[in-house]
């Protein structure tokens, strides 16, 4: 679904300009644990270089199977972040800055905190809250997206 839209994004912008606003909301799928990690990387890109978000998302979708459950089952969280940083680097994002936002410390934080998250945790909380408020429980499948496009051709 993303790739279909992304391939048409420039044409849609040229044809409709300011009359059409597209909002790409990330939707974490908690039944896939690495979904949170990939969305955290997206949130980090939005903090560092929001103009690169679409390009990063396209690069991530090209590598999505590398982050499916079976692909990360034996990998630490921080190792997954390192691989996500490489993808971000491929579109011009500073990998070290991205890792600074994502990496989970291996030592307790102030006050002995053991569950502080990372520097995009609050962004993720807002994404989840927004999805709850809009009653989003899942995303379109490719077939659902194609059916919607067939009915709503611009």
- pTM of the shown model: 0.78
Please give the C-alpha separations between residue 76 and each of 8, 62, 100, 150, in angstroms, as whole numbers.
36, 22, 16, 42
- pLDDT of residue 90 exceeding 60, the answer is yes
Contacts of 6 (CB under 8 A, 6+ apart): 54, 57, 58, 61
- Domain limits, the chain: 31-104+116-133
* Residues 87 and 60 sit within 8 Å (Cβ to Cβ): yes
- pLDDT of residue 43 exceeding 90, the answer is yes
- pLDDT of residue 44 exceeding 80, the answer is yes
Q: How far apart are CA 97 and CA 102, in angstroms?
A: 9
The two structure tokens encoding residue 148: 């919607």
The pLDDT value recorded for residue 153 is 53
Q: How far apart are CA 131 and CA 109, in angstroms?
A: 29
- pLDDT of residue 21 exceeding 80, the answer is no
* Residues 98 and 62 sit within 8 Å (Cβ to Cβ): no
The pLDDT value recorded for residue 148 is 54
The pLDDT value recorded for residue 37 is 96
Q: How far apart are CA 84 and CA 64, in angstroms?
A: 10
* Residues 28 and 128 sit within 8 Å (Cβ to Cβ): yes
* Residues 56 and 102 sit within 8 Å (Cβ to Cβ): no
The two structure tokens encoding residue 10: 């420039």
CA 69 to chain centre: 16
- pLDDT of residue 97 exceeding 60, the answer is yes
Q: Band of the pLDDT at 141, cuts 50, 70, 90? A: low
Query: Regarding predicted confidence, which is higher, 14 or 144?
Result: 14
- pLDDT of residue 130 exceeding 90, the answer is no
């Amino acid at each position: 679904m993303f790739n279909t839209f992304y391939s048409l994004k420039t044409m849609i912008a040229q044809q409709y300009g300011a009359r059409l606003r597209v909002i790409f909301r990330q939707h974490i799928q908690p039944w896939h644990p690495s979904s949170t990690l990939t969305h955290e990387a997206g949130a980090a890109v939005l903090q560092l270089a929001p103009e690169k978000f679409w390009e990063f998302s396209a690069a991530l979708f090209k590598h999505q199977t590398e982050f499916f459950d079976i692909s990360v089952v034996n990998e630490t969280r921080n190792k997954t972040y390192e691989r996500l940083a490489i993808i971000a680097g491929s579109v011009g994002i500073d990998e070290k800055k991205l890792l600074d936002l994502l990496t989970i410390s291996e030592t307790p934080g102030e006050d002995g905190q053991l569950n502080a998250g990372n520097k995009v945790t609050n962004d993720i909380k807002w994404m989840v809250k927004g999805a709850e408020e809009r009653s989003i429980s899942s995303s379109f499948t490719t077939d659902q997206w194609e059916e919607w496009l067939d009915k709503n051709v611009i």
